[in-house]
Structure 1
Amino acid sequence: MSGPTLTDIARAAEVSTATVSHALNGTGRLGESTRRRVREVAAALGYGSRRTPLTRTGTLGLAVTTFAGAPWNYLEVPYFSRLLTAATATAHAHGYALTVLPAARGGETLWHTLTVDGMLLLDSPDGDPVLRALRARGIPVVFDGRPADPHPDDVWVDNDHATTTREVLDHLATAGARRIALHAGFGREYYTGAVTRAYEQWCREQGRAPLVIAFDPDDAPGHAFDRAFADRACDAVHSVYDPGGRQVHAAAARHGLRIPDDLLLVCASEDPAYAECDPPVTTVTLRPEAIAETAVTTLVARLDPALPDPAPGGLTIPALIRLRASSRPRSR
């Protein structure tokens, strides 16, 4: 079995053949990270040795890569925990085990030696090193969330974030909001960018000034809202991350703002505790169980030659808005 060519390595590493040649021969003016990455890709492809074909393991892998190696426990987030439960059940129903990889990876070596038949990647960001390694090894991938830079044959499962964002903003405007802030802008995954672009477009169409407040997962008191709340710069908030609703509640209490009388609130979250808040918080559910079932079933179809190969592109799962008192219409 012939080994990979320099062109094969260049394509997998997304560099030129000249860069591959310099990296493998120790020549040229290359950054150390580029040289190391090209060599890792070459090793993964079996350059310089007889390439061993991938063998079936009966195992699928799952990883959240949006925060690239940061030591955070994504299973504490209700969206991911609910998706994982459904993904495991669906994998088992198809006869596969499911391996869940930690966010803190301690280097990229793992992805060049991981023994799985296929991977489900959640919120893959721009320049994702995990995705690059998996592509180099030829491991089939299906995405939860549109990848930042999809290849022509990529398949992903996602919500229509632009439509959902418009529905939230229209609901808040109908409820009486005049100055709606977006609580977002933390990650580099497609979700955050899509919601922010839809928000800014909606504001332009409505002739409203956009106000994007940066989300910080460690900002439990909601200090990011201090200036906006002190100046009464907004009378509604759409938060796109699970902890955001609690941060808004904490900040509103410190500034003497009543929800929903002074401030309307909608939060994207799968946490049932929001229904028990005072007042109960309107949430957007991205329906992680439906996404997991669809994504795992699609990945299995890519692996099984007896099944029709899924068409490239996106599969859309409609999100739902659960209306509660935090965004009820104000009396005129």
Structure 2
Amino acid sequence: MSPTRPVTLLTVAERAGVSKTTASDALRSSGRVSAETRALVLEAAEQLGYVPNGSARHLRRASTGAIGLHVPEVLTRSDYYMRFVFGVVEAAAAHDHDLTLITSGPSSRVPRVDGLILGDPLDGDPIVERLMRSGLPTVTGERFRGDGEADGVVVSDHAAMLGEMLDHLRERGAIRPALIVAGGETDWAAGIRRGYEEWCARHGAASVVGAVPFDVSYDETRAVARTLLAAEPRPDALICAPAGSAAQLQPVLSEAGLQAGTDLLLASCVEGPSMRAADPPVTAVDLHPREAGAACAELLFDILGGEAEPGTERVHPIELIIRESTRGNAPR
């Protein structure tokens, strides 16, 4: 190996022959990693002399009295992220800190702050990559899938929740569920797809996935839904990952002569006002965004104060809200 190449988590993963997420879980003794795999990763880390980025980042400067928050620009239009931001603001105020919002423009620079929060960071986002290299203590909401390791992570088990949602749909009579989801730029979207694929494998169901861009428009979501519903055999349930998209599919269902809740079970991976206001109201996953934002901020302050070790991972609970869009034909 060239001595000029920095040893990163990705380097360790490549040496051990595992994914970056598996390597991270093995080094942190978290997640579902076998003893054999964990031993391979630890051996690779030792051979390479890998030291987590967070080990030498902290307590080297006076407090600025502020923390920074970055979310991708496309997400600022989301009800989820507006509430996530409010959660961070409230926690920062409780610690007598201001909040600096970091934009995604080409002239964006690393701000003068004590630490950073990155909400569901996108792999390939140049601003995220710059912030991850800044040397500032960093907490991410969900794992970063690019080359860089945060000092703290607040995660939710989206794969398990997707399995719970699919179990509910199966109980209501659905046996051919389809999924609309973005690619693997974020850990959230990757977790949803993994949960869907694992459930289909367990139940012998065909995997029917409509892939969309992360910043998908409602028109694009409708086009993908039309394609899925035109397939034979037609799906009897449709799960929409992009925020707000499930509530925008009524025209597509009407064109196909379908009624949500009876002819087709409809569910969303993100709760929001449009899910509650839809006709019928849409079953959705409540990600508790305000609490998630507060949890990220609290973890950052714990790391800054030496009350949490770099590499800490905390689990944020989420829940399934069942509504009329998945009532189905099974007896209630």
In the alignment, which residue of structure 2 is the partner of 1:327? 326
Superimposed CA distance per residue, residues 109-138 of structure 1 (whole angstroms, 9 cap, x where no aligned partner): 513xx2111000011233553344334331
1:227 CA displacement = 2.6
In the alignment, which residue of structure 2 is the partner of 1:120? 117
Superimposed CA distance per residue, residues 258-277 of structure 1 (whole angstroms, 9 cap, x where no aligned partner): 11111001102231232121
Percent identity, please.
28
Superimposed CA distance per residue, residues 170-190 of structure 1 (whole angstroms, 9 cap, x where no aligned partner): 000111001100110245111
What's the secondary structure of 1:166's corresponding residue? helix
Superimposed CA distance per residue, residues 195-241 of structure 1 (whole angstroms, 9 cap, x where no aligned partner): 11111111011011000012352233711122322345201011112
Q: Distance in 2 between matches of 1:85 and 1:175?
A: 36
Q: Distance in 1 between matches of 2:280 and 2:132?
A: 47
Q: Is the 8 A contact 1:78 1:270 kept in 2?
A: no
In the alignment, which residue of structure 1 is the partner of 2:222? 222
Letter in 2 for 1:229: L
Residues 229-308 of structure 1 aligned to structure 2 (within 5 Å): 229-231=229-231, 233-305=234-306, 308=307
Q: Give the number of the structure whose alpha-carbon radius of gyration is greater.
A: 1
Gaps of 5+ in 2: 12-59
Structure-2-length-normalised TM-score: 0.76
What's the secondary structure of 1:147's corresponding residue? coil
In the alignment, does 2:198 pair up with 1:201? yes
Q: Is the 8 A contact 1:146 1:314 kept in 2?
A: no
Q: Is the 8 A contact 2:240 2:269 kept in 1?
A: yes
Structure-1-length-normalised TM-score: 0.76
- Report the number of matched residues: 278
Q: Distance in 2 between matches of 1:187 and 1:153?
A: 18
Letter in 1 for 2:311: P
Q: Distance in 2 between matches of 1:61 and 1:153?
A: 14
Q: Distance in 1 between matches of 2:308 and 2:128?
A: 21
Calculate the aligned-residue CA RMSD, in Å: 2.8
1:8 CA displacement = 9.3
What's the secondary structure of 2:153's corresponding residue? strand
In the alignment, which residue of structure 2 is the partner of 1:95? 96
Q: Distance in 2 between matches of 1:151 and 1:187?
A: 16
In the alignment, which residue of structure 1 is the partner of 2:67? 60
Q: Distance in 1 between matches of 2:129 and 2:7?
A: 10
Q: Distance in 1 between matches of 2:147 and 2:167?
A: 30
Q: Distance in 2 between matches of 1:209 and 1:187?
A: 20
What's the secondary structure of 2:130's corresponding residue? helix
Letter in 2 for 1:79: Y
Q: Is the 8 A contact 1:298 1:310 kept in 2?
A: no
Q: Distance in 2 between matches of 1:182 and 1:141?
A: 32
Q: Distance in 2 between matches of 1:294 and 1:233?
A: 41
Q: Distance in 2 between matches of 1:219 and 1:89?
A: 32
What's the secondary structure of 2:252's corresponding residue? helix
What's the secondary structure of 2:249's corresponding residue? helix
Q: Distance in 1 between matches of 2:243 and 2:74?
A: 14
Q: Distance in 2 between matches of 1:56 and 1:267?
A: 41
1:59 CA displacement = 0.8
Which one of the candidate residues 171, 188, 191 is aligned to 2:188? Answer: 191
Letter in 2 for 1:172: L
Task: Classify 1:82/1:329 alpha carbon distance in 2 versus 1 (closer, same or farther; 3 Å).
Answer: same
Task: Classify 1:324/1:136 alpha carbon distance in 2 versus 1 (closer, same or farther; 3 Å).
Answer: closer
1:244 CA displacement = 1.9
In the alignment, which residue of structure 2 is the partner of 1:213? 210
Q: Could you tell which deviates more after superposition, 314-323 or 163-172?
A: 314-323
Q: Distance in 1 between matches of 2:248 and 2:295?
A: 32
Q: Is the 8 A contact 1:183 1:244 kept in 2?
A: no
Q: Is the 8 A contact 2:239 2:267 kept in 1?
A: yes
